[in-house]
Amino acid sequence: MSAPGAFFAGCAGLTLSPDEAAFFRASDPLGFILFSRNIDTPDQILRLTGDLRAAVGRDAPILIDQEGGRVQRLRAPHWREWIAPLDEVARAGVRAPQVMTLRYRVIAAELRAIGIDVNCAPCADIARANTHPVLLNRCYGKNAPTAASIGRAVADGLLAGGVLPVLKHIPGHGAATADSHLELPHVDLPRETLRDQDFAAFRALADLPMAMTGHIVFDAIDATASATQSPAMIALIRDDIGFDGLLMSDDISMHALSGDMGARCLLSLKAGCDVILHCNGEMAEMEQVAAASGTLGSQAQARADHALALRDVPAEDAKALADQWQALMAEGAA
């Protein structure tokens, strides 16, 4: 069997169109990502995830962002609503690691029930006084030990339910004061500060199977390119932080990056990303991404195989887990 395409793709709506199915059949992306535009009911998502996998003829991974707070694609009335992670950690106090593990076991059970097996979490970014509001309450704490401890709890909860965690935004987005969806942030902290704080949280989680880069320039290391497209930054992620899992770009269509989609992909892959993430489902862009990304290299394929093997875990009971989570939260409030 030939290697799949070195990209993740989105689709436009609630169902897979014939044109999309034909494109995915021909380009064979490694996997897919769903957004709110793709979400209606559990039955609808089951059909969509089944159709996406049928298009590529294999058990392709299907990603989603289900963090809680502002970033949760699955919402009431069909799914539980979750407060923002930073607020949950504060509310839970000393029980935060146990609470967050249970929270993400519930989320994993809800995801697996509708055919989704990768969640783009944990966020190990450190919350700082000037962290941009788009990220701030998605963080878990204000220092590396807390971010790493809660990040581990989140990852453990997901893995217990057979859902792959994606560590983000490596090597650290918390010091960015701009929104990378809209512009390219620059971080001007000294390398030693980054090493001991922001990067340290990711170093503690470097054994996780998948990670997502941040579109951020770290002036002290490479003032010319975002981490996604910087060979120096990818080398730091691999060598200094020690991450050897499957490394994907953040959404390649974000406005932090410049150039056409093909050029963005080529720069990211040349820098050392294993796979490109493209989210908006626009066919013209996806065609450029597929053409530029090519297929997974042998090392990237081995990393993908290792990660995907971790999905083989029996499904859990979301209601029973939610009852445990509520009981633990009640103990903390008593």
Known catalytic residues? 181, 250
Burial class (CB in 10 A: 0-12, 13-18, 19+), 156: middle
Prior bond of 97 cis (ω within 30°): no
Residue 129 has a CB neighbour count (10 Å cut-off) of: 6
DSSP code of residue 131: -
Token pair, residue 326, equals: 């509520």
DSSP string, 246-273: EEEEEETTSTTS-S-HHHHHHHHHHHT-
**Positive or negative: CA dihedral 321, 63, 184, 246:** positive
Prior bond of 77 cis (ω within 30°): yes
* CA–CA dist 176, 184 (Å, integer): 9
* CA–CA dist 287, 320 (Å, integer): 44
Token pair, residue 273, equals: 């990303």
Taking phi over 0 as left and psi of -120 to 50 as alpha, with beta for the rest, 44 belongs to alpha
| Range 25-29 contact pairs with CB under 8 angstroms and sequence separation of 24 or more | 25/55, 25/56, 25/57, 27/286, 27/287, 27/290, 28/2, 28/4, 28/56, 28/295, 29/4, 29/5, 29/56, 29/60, 29/290
Q: CB–CB of 203/151 below 8 Å?
A: no
Token pair, residue 45, equals: 């998502």
